[in-house]
Amino acid sequence: MNVSPHDIARVLSEALPHMQRYDEEIVVVKYGGHAMGEEDLARSFARDIVLMEQTAINPVVVHGGGPQIGEMLKRLGIESQFAAGLRVTDAATIEIVEMVLGGSINKQIVGFINAAGGKAVGLCGKDGNMVVARKASRRVVDPDSNIEKIVDLGFVGEPDKVDVTVLNQILGRDLIPVLAPLATSTEGLTYNVNADTFAGAIAGALKAKRLLLLTDVPGVLDKSKSLIKELSTDDARRLIADGTISGGMIPKVETCIYALEAGVEGVVILDGKVPHAVLLELLTDHGAGTLMMR
């Protein structure tokens, strides 16, 4: 596809008001799903993050890594235990989770951003006591007896306190923080935190202008499977109550509501497999995915 220099100039000119809107603002991007697994998409994502930083936006990247953790556990012959469909993170598993999330995945993303001309810094929630977590538990209803019970998920945590001192030292200095969703406990243990939840907690504590949750779906869909472009928190609660929002989308939307109530201006759920999804959302009139506002 040949694009003329005039077209390029026009596109850049049209992006100006969007650049001004996000000038010096913080945008937290949760990066995960299949977009992470494919190198071309990963390198494209890294370029987009560098472009954001070059246009005076302050990006903070939070990444997941479920499939990669599963793959490594399989390679090492560590059996995963599941309770109520959730992986139980025991002592052997948390060691691998920390190795994969805080090590190989984190440094790969840092490497791609740096190769694209950025200056990325890889961190996790343990650095500078950024995220202190409490042990997470899940209430599930046993389908046979219909009795509700509490499931122990092991070293799985939920953010309790967030201290953004380290991030405040980094942001605004041409550096791009890349965060693995690992947290510490008050006793110094390592906890694995859901990446969406972790990103929501970080965005809330930073009072970010935007939180972008890159997923494997186009956004929040209505009953007829059409994309809902905009949602208020009240609408979202109603759609959860009537079953329109269901399954894995419920915790994502709950993260959005939490982040908005913590002070984030807007949250977007969008498809990370769409090339340049982040730029489409931030720097064009078209947007991408579902925007949630208070």
User: Can you give the CATH number for the domain in which 113 is found?
Assistant: 3.40.1160.10
Structural domain contains residue 3 = no
Question: Cα–Cα distance between 65 and 144 in angstroms, integer?
Answer: 33
The H or E element spanning position 75 is helix 66-75
Report if residue 172 sits inside a domain: yes
Q: Does the residue 16 lie in any domain? A: no
Give the phi and the psi of residue 253 in degrees, each rounded to 5.
-70, -35
> pLDDT by residue for the chain (294 residues), tens digit each?
678 898 889 888 888 988 898 889 999 999 987 777 788 889 999 999 999 999 999 999 999 998 889 899 999 999 888 776 677 899 999 999 999 999 999 999 999 999 999 999 999 999 999 999 999 888 777 767 777 888 888 999 999 999 999 999 999 999 999 999 999 999 999 999 999 999 999 999 999 999 999 988 889 999 899 999 999 999 999 999 998 898 888 888 999 999 999 999 999 999 988 889 999 899 888 778 999 998
For residue 125, give its domain range: 24-293
The verdict on residue 251 lying in a domain is: yes
| pLDDT (tens digit per residue) in 137-156 | 887 777 677 778 888 889 99
User: Which DSSP helix (H) or strand (E) runs through 93?
Assistant: helix 91-98
Q: Is residue 35 part of a domain?
A: yes
Q: Is residue 25 classed exposed, middle or buried when 0-12, 13-18 and 19+ CB atoms within 10 A define those classes?
A: middle
Q: Is residue 74 part of a domain?
A: yes
* Residues 267/259, Cβ–Cβ less than 8 Å: yes
233-245 pLDDT, tens digit each: 999 999 999 988 9
- Which residues are CB-neighbours of 273 under 8 A, at least 6 positions away? 33, 34, 35, 41, 216
Please state, in angstroms and rounded to a whole number, the distance separating the CA atoms of residues 36 and 238.
Answer: 32
pTM as predicted = 0.92
Q: Is residue 5 part of a domain?
A: no
Q: How many CB atoms lie within 10 A of CB 7?
A: 10
What backbone torsions phi and psi does residue 15 show, to the nearest 5 degrees? -75, -15
Q: Is residue 107 part of a domain?
A: yes
Domain count, the chain: 1
